[in-house]
A and B are shown apart, each in its own frame.
Chain A
């Protein structure tokens, strides 16, 4: 049963955004969500209900790998890194998004 709140509009584009953020360097889940919100100036909000399934999905597909690292605090933190395949996927998805958003704009202009 989908439990997306009104703010959760990202659906399929979430994967793409996560890959983009992770491509900048190893980062943990919470930080990924916050980063996306930050850059988009809160237009895009990511709930953990969508974030973690997406992360697991991406990890299963071997686009990202995870690693428990000891951060600044003594507690171990799970960090995600982009893989080579992930990078390739990111480029593909980026192009795809371009095509889609262009297409949507086309329809909007002509209809």
Chain B
């Protein structure tokens, strides 16, 4: 499967969206995105964790150690208030971006 290049920030937006439904750990977030997109989108650790780190730095999400169903230790992420606000903005940006790209692609010569 060809590697998909998201526009910058798309991953953050999707993460925020997923976390909006509830706190989750990194693996779970990736899984959600994968499943919900009908397996079209595959998030690699190499992209996800730097993104999570970035968002944490900016204060959009916070983390806490917890236990999974299998009783394993995992770091759980959840939205902060800022993050929730951010989600809206990011989604908007995405819309604009996606539309713009479609325009360019569909534009008549």
Do A and B touch, yes or no (CB under 8 Å, in the complex)?
yes
Partner of B104, one of A17, A99, A110, A111: A17
Closest to B101 in A: A13
Instruction: Determine whether A107 belongs to the interface, using a CB cutoff of 8 Å to chain B.
Output: yes
Q: Is the CB–CB distance between B17 and A111 below 8 Å?
A: yes
Q: How far is the CA of A16 from the CA of B101 in the complex (A)?
A: 9
Q: Is the CB–CB distance between B6 and A11 below 8 Å?
A: yes
Residues of A with C-beta under 8 A to B9: 9
Residues of B with C-beta under 8 A to A11: 5-8
Residues of B with C-beta under 8 A to A12: 4-7
For chain B, the bracket of interface size reads 35 or more
Q: Is the CB–CB distance between A43 and B5 below 8 Å?
A: no
Residues of A with C-beta under 8 A to B4: 12, 96, 100
Chain A residues bordering chain B, tally (CB within 8 A): 34
Q: Is the CB–CB distance between A44 and B100 below 8 Å?
A: yes
Residues of A with C-beta under 8 A to B61: none
Q: How far is the CA of A49 from the CA of B67 in the complex (A)?
A: 45
Instruction: Determine whether B91 belongs to the interface, using a CB cutoff of 8 Å to chain A.
Output: yes
Instruction: Determine whether B37 belongs to the interface, using a CB cutoff of 8 Å to chain A.
Output: yes
Q: Nearest chain A CB to B106's CB is how many angstroms away?
A: 9
Instruction: Determine whether A51 belongs to the interface, using a CB cutoff of 8 Å to chain B.
Output: no
Partner of A39, one of B8, B93, B107: B107
Closest to A40 in B: B100
Closest to A106 in B: B37
Most B C-beta atoms less than 10 A away, residue of A36, A97, A101, A111: A111
Known: A97-B101, A111-B36. A104 touches B41 (CB 8 A): yes
Residues of A with C-beta under 8 A to B18: 107, 111
Give A contacts to B, CB under 8 Å. Answer: 4, 8-13, 16-17, 20-21, 23-25, 36, 39-41, 43-44, 94, 96-97, 99-104, 106-108, 110-111
Give B contacts to A, CB under 8 Å. Answer: 2, 4-10, 13-14, 17-18, 20-21, 32-33, 36-38, 40-41, 91, 93-94, 96-105, 107, 109
